[in-house]
Amino acid sequence: MLFSLIPEPWQLHLKVHESKVNEIGVTLTKRADSGERILPDRKYVFRALEIQPKDVKVLIIGQDPYPNAQDACGLSFSVTPRKSGLPGSLMNIQKEIMTDIGSTNTSNGDLSRWAKQGVMLLNRTLTVTAGDSGSHSNLGWQEITEEIARVCAEQGAIALLWGNSARELAHLFADNRKIEGVHPSPLSAHRGFLGSKPFSAINQMLVDEGKAGINW
């Protein structure tokens, strides 16, 4: 059952949604059996939850996985390491880090080092059909990921909410525990994402609390 793939510390918090998660799992199996390519690979569906709830310092919300196998890796906005050909949103994130911080350790597109520092990279929808962005938005994942965000809020995490889908979770976080903004997509980044300096703002919030900032 799909619920069994959730890391154990998170199973305790999501137990009330176990039947819904397994229902989604059944749907995914049926679609795969009919020939659909489901992304990311099953073992990466809950990759964002490898961080224990108590260790989440920052929550970055994405929309859904990249709809191609090369990019979908279970972490929002991240891709497997490469030298070129990064998605537009990720390129804009890198551009903003360079403007904001002056340097970045994400030039290969792999954001997993953020996760190791306590940054949860969570999509609102955790799966997608290859080649069909947004195709799983009606499966019920939002119910699950909202609960995950709620737990993060209760643990004191800072939320970075880019775009309308992510900002639907803004009500879970106090005003001093969230940064809202425009999505980094090439279609919208010029309307307020570029130049917003969210990365230094988050680090200042963490330092003010006596915590280490993130090495972006």
216 in a structural domain: no
pTM: 0.96
Domain enclosing residue 120, as ranges: 2-208
Which residue in 163, 95, 158, 93 sits closest to 123, CA to CA? Answer: 163
Handedness of CA 84, 87, 88, 92 (dihedral sign): negative
- 213 lies in some domain: no
Domain count along the chain: 1
- The confidence score (pLDDT) of residue 198 equals 98
Residue 20 neighbours by CB distance under 10 Å: 18
Report yes or no on 156 lying in a domain: yes
What's the CATH code of the domain at 16?
3.40.470.10
Residue 36 covered by a domain:
yes
Per-residue confidence in pLDDT tens, the chain, 216 aa:
999 999 999 999 999 999 999 999 999 999 999 999 999 999 999 999 999 999 999 999 999 999 999 999 999 999 999 878 899 999 999 999 999 999 877 889 999 999 999 999 999 999 999 999 999 999 999 999 999 999 999 999 999 999 999 999 999 999 999 999 999 999 999 999 999 999 999 999 999 999 999 999
Examine the residue annotation and report whether 64 is marked as an active-site residue of this protein. Answer: yes
In a domain, 214, yes or no: no
Q: Note whether 71 and 81 are within 8 A (CB).
A: no
Catalytic residue among 64, 71, 110, 208: 64
